[in-house]
């Protein structure tokens, strides 16, 4: 009985010792120094924890002299260290950091394993934050890269969609890129950003000798919606290949009030603005359109009036045809321009 009691007492003592809230021993972060020189040196340490701590500290220090070392660290064997180096480059910013991030986006795909995706996406997102001509130019290159992988492409798409009016000069710089696809992407971005600065950059592209660039610029001007482009678009109406695109762009700009376009009906050189006016279909503009047909009318113009679906314009077209010796014949088919269409 005494032995049993002793054993029980011992068990009670053990239970008492094991009860209560368990304690944890804190793990101290490695010491990496405080100066840029010490932190840069720590990026080459054999201990990954020290390298990581150094990269994180350099992001806060913001010393541009660390850029070359951080650029090397983006290729660290430890992905966590590499990602911290990317973040540090983004935090430091400037031409050197941007160039390092651009270079990283060209190097990462060569890794050939899933961890490369994290670094690639991180570099893309960092470029989206540092902005500038080099950063945005690279993003536009990646946006048109047909070999881009899913996750990385989404990162590029988000970065490009986040461009604002402040980025117009950087995007406009890509209009001189050697690759047509990149120039087209830059044009599309300018149209999305909109505003007078974007319109000004796009206007210069309407005179391009490349028809694809020219058409894209016209479309983008319509999307940008800035009236500054009006004279350029009206002039483009004289080009049969650009007629549809230019008239559509004018519709986009003036769909709420077409009256500023009426003055262009008073000149033979710009009378083709009637295409946009008919498509807008604003009530009260018919009189000016009828007058323009009487002054500068042609067979093609009369046919467009005749088939646009507006009774006043159709009546004027029939009168013009009769006056000029034409007979109106009804045939199956559609119209090239529709009132309010």
Q: How much of the chain, in percent, has pLDDT values that exceed 90?
A: 79
| 238: its two tokens | 């004289």
Q: Note whether 211 and 180 are within 8 A (CB).
A: no
Per-residue pLDDT, 153: 83
CA distances from 306 to 140, 264, 319, 334 (A): 46, 21, 10, 11
For residue 193, report the phi and psi dihedrals to the nearest 5 degrees.
Answer: -65, -45
What's the whole-number average pLDDT of the chain? 89
Architecture of domain 165-254: Alpha Horseshoe (1.25)
Which residues lie closer than 8 Å to 108 by C-beta, 6 or more apart? Answer: 116, 119, 120, 123
Residue 26 pLDDT grade (very low, low, confident, very high; cuts 50, 70, 90): low
Could you say which of 1.10.3720.10, 1.25.10.10, 3.30.300.90, 3.90.1640.10 is the CATH number of the domain covering 33-162? 1.25.10.10
Residue 115 pLDDT grade (very low, low, confident, very high; cuts 50, 70, 90): low
Per-residue pLDDT, 4: 41
Q: Render pLDDT for 76-101 as a digit per residue (tens, 0 to 9).
A: 999 999 999 999 999 999 999 999 99
Core vs surface per residue 250-279: b (16+ CB within 10 A) or e:
bbbbbeeebeebbebbeeeebbbbbbbbbb
Stretch 60-66: mean pLDDT:
95
Tell me where in the chain the CATH 1.25.10.10 domain(s) lie: 33-162, 165-254
Is 328 a residue whose pLDDT tops 70? yes
Q: Render pLDDT for 274-299 as a digit per residue (tens, 0 to 9).
A: 999 999 999 999 999 999 999 999 99
| 283: its two tokens | 């009530």
Residue 29 pLDDT grade (very low, low, confident, very high; cuts 50, 70, 90): low
Among 142-156, 169-183, 195-209, 306-320, which stretch is predicted with the lowest mean pLDDT? 142-156
Q: Note whether 59 and 37 are within 8 A (CB).
A: no
Core vs surface per residue 214-225: b (16+ CB within 10 A) or e:
bbbbbbbbbbbb
Grouping H, G, I as helix, E, B as strand and the rest as coil, residue 131 is coil
Q: Render pLDDT for 30-53 as a digit per residue (tens, 0 to 9).
A: 677 789 999 999 999 999 999 999
């Amino acid at each position: 009985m005494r032995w049993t009691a002793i054993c029980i007492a011992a068990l009670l003592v053990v239970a008492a010792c094991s009860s209560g809230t368990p304690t944890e021993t804190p793990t101290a972060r490695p010491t990496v120094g405080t100066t840029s020189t010490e932190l840069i040196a720590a990026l080459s340490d054999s201990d990954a924890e020290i390298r990581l701590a150094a990269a994180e500290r350099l992001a806060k220090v913001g010393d541009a002299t660390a850029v070359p070392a951080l650029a090397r660290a983006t290729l660290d064997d430890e992905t966590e260290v590499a990602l911290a180096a990317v973040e540090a480059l983004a935090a430091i910013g400037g031409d050197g950091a941007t160039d390092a991030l651009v270079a990283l986006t060209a190097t990462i795909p060569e890794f050939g394993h899933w961890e490369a995706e994290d670094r690639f996406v991180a570099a893309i997102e960092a470029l989206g934050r540092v902005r500038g001509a080099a950063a945005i130019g690279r993003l536009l290159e990646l946006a048109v890269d047909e070999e881009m992988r899913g996750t990385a492409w989404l990162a590029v798409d988000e970065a490009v969609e986040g461009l604002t009016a402040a980025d117009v000069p950087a995007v406009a710089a890509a209009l001189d890129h050697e690759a047509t696809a990149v120039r087209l992407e830059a044009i599309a971005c300018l149209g999305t950003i909109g505003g007078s600065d974007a319109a000004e950059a796009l206007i210069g592209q309407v005179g391009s000798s490349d028809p694809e660039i020219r058409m894209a610029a016209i479309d983008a001007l319509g999307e940008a919606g800035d009236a500054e482009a009006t004279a350029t678009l009206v002039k483009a109406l004289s080009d049969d290949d650009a007629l549809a695109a230019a008239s559509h762009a004018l519709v986009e700009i003036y769909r709420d009030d077409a009256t500023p376009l009426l003055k262009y009906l008073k000149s033979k050189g710009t009378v083709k603005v009637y295409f946009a006016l008919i498509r807008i279909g604003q009530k009260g503009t018919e009189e000016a359109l009828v007058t323009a047909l009487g002054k500068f009318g042609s067979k093609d113009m009369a046919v467009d009036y005749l088939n646009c679906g507006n009774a006043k314009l159709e009546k004027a077209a029939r009168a013009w045809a009769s006056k000029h010796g034409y007979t109106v014949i009804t045939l199956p088919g559609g119209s090239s321009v529709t009132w309010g269409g």
